[in-house]
Structure 1
Amino acid sequence: MARSAVMRRLTGITLAATAVTGLTLATAGTASAATNKNGNVESGEFGLYYNSNFAGCVFDLLESDGNFSGDLFRSSTSSQSCPGQGQSTDNNTASYWNRDVTAWDVYTKASRGGIKGSLPLGYYGNASTTFKNAISSAYYF
């Protein structure tokens, strides 16, 4: 059974706050209002960019996606276009940013197939030659 995004985020926020302050939190606040696949990498999401160096349109994930086929890069605003807008995300990613509270795994084939790469929380950078324009699925853990 998959964990809900809210519970995953609340757990991560609680753990991070405890580690930083050294205090145990009695309650957790409301989770951020991140919106899945809206073209904006918000806090709590994993973002894939069409171009290297975080350029171009974005494919942002709040939940795991086992098959990028049919998923498209989007602009963060409806009034502006960006390189890659409307292009398939499948095998088309050049850089990424993990703004989630947990690590993500990416795969070169759908449904956890092919080569696996792990991206720790807070990680950002250009895809290596193994993963550039080769990612087809992503899962948080």
Structure 2
Amino acid sequence: MKRIAYAGLVGSLLSAAVLTATATSAQAAARDGVCQTGEFCLYYNSGQLGSVSDFAGSIDDYGASQPECYDFKGAGAGQGLCVKNAAASVWNRTSGNVTVFFNSGYGGASQSVGSGVKANLNATLKNQNASHRFGGSTGSSYGAPGTNPHPEAITRAPSATARTQFVDNEIARLTGETQCFVGDYRTYQESTSNHNTGNALDCTISSAIGTYPNATQKAQGWKLAEWVKQYAVRLQVRYVIWDGKIWSVGRASEGWRTYTGGSGVTGGHYDHVHVSIQNRYGD
């Protein structure tokens, strides 16, 4: 099992560059009803018309009523209304994919919008949208894994079962993620836990366990999590946890749900993607 450790400018030119970068970042971060570079924007009307609501990050629930909801802030039709189930078009001014979802918690039907793309929401999502995620639904950009040929089995951590090792090998081969491991035997968990029986992997995404990922790492984590979700049946995966969300084969129709089994950077799975393999035990 793998256990992998984890000419500048000067003078006024440097000052100018820093000030420009800071101003641009601040503009993109402010929800001011103006679609800035680095933001994902929802419009009340088709064709990027009407009031706009601009975002600099993922939102797992737009909220249903004022004053808690995210609203349309720009001038024009729809200004002041809640965004949830009211957007008709989008403009992705970020550097990566953004995916709009029918349900809160990144669930249900979805539409992925490429970097720089202006688009009308499709018939399923027009005025029926509840969340969006930066970097989501990009798993298909990785190749399809082989079908896991190994039967369910148990071993003792830190060893992996053959079924789990197959998943680890396919992740490394097709996604380039090589920091996945079973980990040591966890005396604070039941002996039948998936980690203790060699039937779970933790794939470190941030710079180190205990550290929140930066924006690029977070998007990469979602890319891996979505890929595992996409091929869960083929890989014999039971569930995936990442970024405070959980998806399971048994409740696939609910999409990504809020994870309540832990808190903090590691307990909430913000620094690593957890992959549980199907076996005879529930956890």
User: Normalised by the size of structure 2, how large is the TM-score?
Assistant: 0.37
Give the aligned partner of residue 71 of structure 1. 70
- The alignment's C-alpha RMSD in Å is 2.0
* SS in structure 2 of the partner of residue 50 of structure 1: strand
* SS in structure 2 of the partner of residue 44 of structure 1: coil
Structure 2 CA distance, aligned partners of 1:109 and 1:50? Answer: 18
What displacement does 1:37 show?
A: 2.1
Structure 2 CA distance, aligned partners of 1:55 and 1:35? Answer: 22
Correspondence for 1:137 among 126, 131, 134: 131
Q: Which moved more, 1:35-44 or 1:104-113?
A: 35-44
Deviations, residues 20-74 of structure 1 (Å, cap 9, x unaligned)? xxxxx98997362313321111001000000111111111110111101111101
Runs of 5+ consecutive residues of structure 2 not aligned to the other structure:
1-6, 10-16, 64-68, 136-283
Structure 2 CA distance, aligned partners of 1:60 and 1:115? Answer: 22
What displacement does 1:128 show?
A: 1.2
* SS in structure 2 of the partner of residue 56 of structure 1: strand
Report if aligned partners of 1:73, 1:85 keep a CA contact under 8 Å in 2: yes
Rg (Cα) greater in structure: 2
Structure 2 CA distance, aligned partners of 1:106 and 1:41? Answer: 17
Give the aligned partner of residue 87 of structure 1. 81
Structure 2 CA distance, aligned partners of 1:127 and 1:139? Answer: 15
Q: Is 1:119 equivalent to 2:113 in the alignment?
A: yes
Structure 1 CA distance, aligned partners of 2:29 and 2:76? Answer: 19
What displacement does 1:96 show?
A: 0.4
Higher-RCO chain (CA-CA 8 Å, sequence separation at least 6): 1
* SS in structure 1 of the partner of residue 71 of structure 2: coil
Structure 1 CA distance, aligned partners of 2:8 and 2:43? Answer: 37
Q: Which runs of 4+ in 1 moved over 4 A?
A: 25-29
What displacement does 1:126 show?
A: 1.2
Amino acid at match of 1:74: K
- Percent sequence identity over matched residues? 31
Report if aligned partners of 1:36, 1:63 keep a CA contact under 8 Å in 2: no
Report if aligned partners of 2:113, 2:119 keep a CA contact under 8 Å in 1: no
Give the aligned partner of residue 98 of structure 1. 92
Q: Which moved more, 1:27-36 or 1:86-95?
A: 27-36
Q: Flag the structure with higher helix content.
A: 2
CA, structure 1 residues 118+86, in 2 after alignment: closer, same or farther (shift >3 Å)? same
Structure 1 CA distance, aligned partners of 2:35 and 2:77? Answer: 16
Give the aligned partner of residue 109 of structure 1. 103
* SS in structure 1 of the partner of residue 123 of structure 2: coil
